[in-house]
Structure 1
Amino acid sequence: MTRLRGADAETVRRALDADDPLPGTAGFAGFVNRGASRLAPDGFLVRDVLGRQPIFGAPDDWGFAPDGVAGDPTPVPAGHIREPDGTDRRVWSLPDPPAANDDVAAVETVRHAIDDALAGLDDDGLAVAFSGGVDSALVAAGTPNAPCYVVGFPDAHDVSAARGAAAAMGRELRVVSLDHADLERAVPEVVAATGRTNAMDVTIALPLYLVAERVAADGYDRLALGQGADELFGGYAKVVDPADDDRVAATTVRGATREMLGSLPDQLERDTLTLRAAGVDPVVPLLADGVVEAALPLPGHLLATADERKVALRRAAADRLPASVVDADKKAVQYGSLVSRELDRLARRAGFKRRMDRHVDRYIESLV
């Protein structure tokens, strides 16, 4: 059994000793003992500050749940260690640096951080989840030998956008075309992997599961995603004018963007469990520590404005991607793939009408 994913024990211990939340990894979780003996009884479970690796249970079983939430389903919170007595103790929080005052230097720092994160990837056995947006296109550009996959129903926005972006970038694209039978088959598998039955989580996880299933069948064991870029770089509409948007508590663009970062551990837990259940491990280079560190000081106008979101990220990508890809709009995967629309349609056909409370949730529950 793997004792620690994403880092070695000495790196974790140094990060604890130095109170360093971003020690140069791409996320980690697992069991670490306090002494030299691998069998020391006083070990603890640990999860990195952004929760990029999920872990569940207690130190005496120190197990991952790569095939679903098994045993104790309680995750270790991001930035915490779980002591032998089951107590969770926060050991890291994200830095809160002041806003950078040099736009050119700030964008250049982001550019170099992304280049470094991508340069460190081994593309052997790696595929890319490719939607045609700037996030996944940057990942694809940095992994030129990895095949690109898009998932969706035939008339989906993501399929069309990915075809256009792949053509502009000169990349081959493999399309995972969905139908209703795919959704009906995969819903119970996603629920088993994640332990979740709410429509939002399931409709996000379904396209990830189905594309990962195809990737694994084609012989790849890792799937690179542009995940985290929206949270880190101001990709959500609700961060544009947060003072007038009741979907966020913050009143500034920087504050709202940081609020979005707080949603990552729960999302990453869901998506990682989903992808592993389908037979691949996720790779999220845009959430590498160096990229996070470069993004945190970005001022509000380099995050989101009334005219543009992910401003710094797009500027950083300008000399690496075609202009049509840099400027492309991106839909959330459940909408861009049309999975949300079609699962709703299946629910209504099965008698779960929209006038019913939680009609899609109830349909999902009926399938499991």
Structure 2
Amino acid sequence: MAELLLKGWIEQGGRRLSGDEVLTVLTEKPRDVSLFGGEFYLRYGEWQARDRFGIMSGPCPAGTVTRDGEVVGRVGPDYPAGDLEEAIVTAVGLRAVDGAAVALSGGVDSALVAALARLPAVVVGLEGSHDRRRALALAEKLGIPCDAVSVTEREVEGALQEVVALLGNPNPVDASIAATEVFVARWAEEQGIHRVLTGQGADELFGGYARYLETDDLADALERDVADLPRQVARDGAVAAHYGTAFSPPYLDLRVVAAARAIPPGEKVGDGVRKAPLRKVAERHIPPEFARAEKKAMQYGSGIWKTIQRLACHNGYKKSVQGYLTDMGRDMHGF
């Protein structure tokens, strides 16, 4: 009998499967791997498979089942659109295991995850930053422990160097997000935490970006951004894996994705409100001031983006963060 290699975790019907249960499926009906949910890479003899979004790294394409290197199936399951709140509660519950934590910024996305997971949390930011204040205030209201990782300009510069080494020549947005994640992943490594729940995917699925308020074709903008999620997952996964941990996004659970994509775009964004369906769910689980408040992305709310701009300026790149990053890569890689 072939040996099973399994990274991550697998579920079916809202229940995590044990290694023995996974092995039984692979032995009796290996093509049923296409029905697996979760965040995983597996290898069993000539068979390999990865979860739909590729959250767990591995040598076969994301979302595929392969046999002897040939794609023979797609990993699902394809859930029908169900109740959004039920989907989110299930998704968080599957991921909120002992030894995990939540990356908390104080915005509605991570706040809802933290409230449902009831796990220790961490917030990253410069002293006095918006995210640090909001996350600590929310954690106190929820009664959950929250570590605050304070960062300095020198530490941000070091994190940027790590990001450029990991990602090659990232654009400024990716670099600033990944640099923020470095501090989360480093904290997780220090705490012995191997899984960090995040709010990734909520902006794309529910219409969270400010530019959605001004777009002429909201449906098209949302589709483009959802299509970009696997690339973002790969970026985040590279940072997490470097520190021996994993980022686990409940909003990319396929139940949540199905429920979110069934909601008309006009119900997600309108009258100056973004992520309206998610906020309605959140109001039943977190204080209304956190469910309704608008918040900038973590690289802005943490103060890290402004720090990167200052670093670029101090190094002679007054108008081009991209130039600063590109030349940093050249210095590091010799090209």
Using the size of structure 2 for normalisation, the TM-score is 0.81
Q: 1:202 aligns with which of 161, 171, 175?
A: 175
Q: 1:346 aligns with which of 307, 311, 330?
A: 311
Higher strand share: 2
Q: Any gaps of 5 or more consecutive residues in structure 1?
A: 17-22, 32-37, 57-61, 63-75, 101-105, 244-250
**Which residue in the other structure is 2:296 paired with?**
331
CA offsets per residue over residues 92-115 of structure 1, 9 Å max, x none? 799798xx9xxxxx7xx1011111
CA offsets per residue over residues 316-361 of structure 1, 9 Å max, x none? 1111110011012221122121222212211222233326972343
CA offsets per residue over residues 29-62 of structure 1, 9 Å max, x none? 444xxxxxx434xx4x544433333334xxxxx6
SS at match of 1:345: helix
| Contact 2:31-2:73 within 8 A present in 1 as well | no
Q: 1:39 aligns with which of 34, 40, 45?
A: 45
Whether 2:57 is the aligned partner of 1:54: answer yes
**Which residue in the other structure is 2:37 paired with?**
25
Whole-angstrom distance in 1 between the partners of 2:41 and 2:271 = 38
Matches within 5 A, 1:1-368: 2-3=5-6, 5-7=8-10, 8=22, 10=25, 13-14=31-32, 16=34, 23=35, 25-31=37-43, 38-40=44-46, 43=47, 45-56=48-59, 76=61, 78-80=62-64, 84=68, 91=74, 109-144=83-118, 146-243=119-216, 251=217, 253-354=218-319, 358-363=323-328, 365-366=330-331
Structure 2 CA distance for partners of 1:88 and 1:335, relative to 1, 3 Å? farther
Structure 2 CA distance for partners of 1:355 and 1:226, relative to 1, 3 Å? closer
SS at match of 2:95: coil
**Which residue in the other structure is 1:20 paired with?**
none
| Contact 2:213-2:269 within 8 A present in 1 as well | yes
Structure 2 CA distance for partners of 1:199 and 1:89, relative to 1, 3 Å? farther
Comparing 264-273 and 174-183, the one that deviates more: 174-183
| Contact 2:50-2:75 within 8 A present in 1 as well | no
Higher helix share: 2
Aligned length: 315
Structure 2 CA distance for partners of 1:91 and 1:355, relative to 1, 3 Å? closer
CA offsets per residue over residues 191-213 of structure 1, 9 Å max, x none? 33334443322211111111221
Aligned-pair distance for 1:81? 5.3
Aligned-pair distance for 1:183? 2.0
CA offsets per residue over residues 240-292 of structure 1, 9 Å max, x none? 3432xxxxxxx2x3443232110100000010110121232222122112111
Whole-angstrom distance in 2 between the partners of 1:82 and 1:3 = 15
| Contact 2:165-2:332 within 8 A present in 1 as well | no
The one-letter code sitting in structure 2 at the alignment partner of 1:142 is: L
| Contact 2:65-2:73 within 8 A present in 1 as well | yes
| Contact 2:124-2:180 within 8 A present in 1 as well | yes
Whole-angstrom distance in 1 between the partners of 2:279 and 2:86 = 14
Whole-angstrom distance in 1 between the partners of 2:73 and 2:173 = 29
Whole-angstrom distance in 2 between the partners of 1:29 and 1:262 = 21
**Which residue in the other structure is 2:19 paired with?**
none
| Contact 1:26-1:52 within 8 A present in 2 as well | no
Aligned-pair distance for 1:310? 0.9
Aligned-pair distance for 1:238? 3.1
Aligned-pair distance for 1:158? 1.2
SS at match of 2:101: strand
| Contact 1:24-1:288 within 8 A present in 2 as well | no
| Contact 2:95-2:197 within 8 A present in 1 as well | no
CA offsets per residue over residues 102-144 of structure 1, 9 Å max, x none? xxxx7xx101111112222343111110000111111111122
Structure 2 CA distance for partners of 1:155 and 1:94, relative to 1, 3 Å? farther
Q: Any gaps of 5 or more consecutive residues in structure 2?
A: 11-21
| Contact 1:6-1:26 within 8 A present in 2 as well | yes
| Contact 2:49-2:75 within 8 A present in 1 as well | no
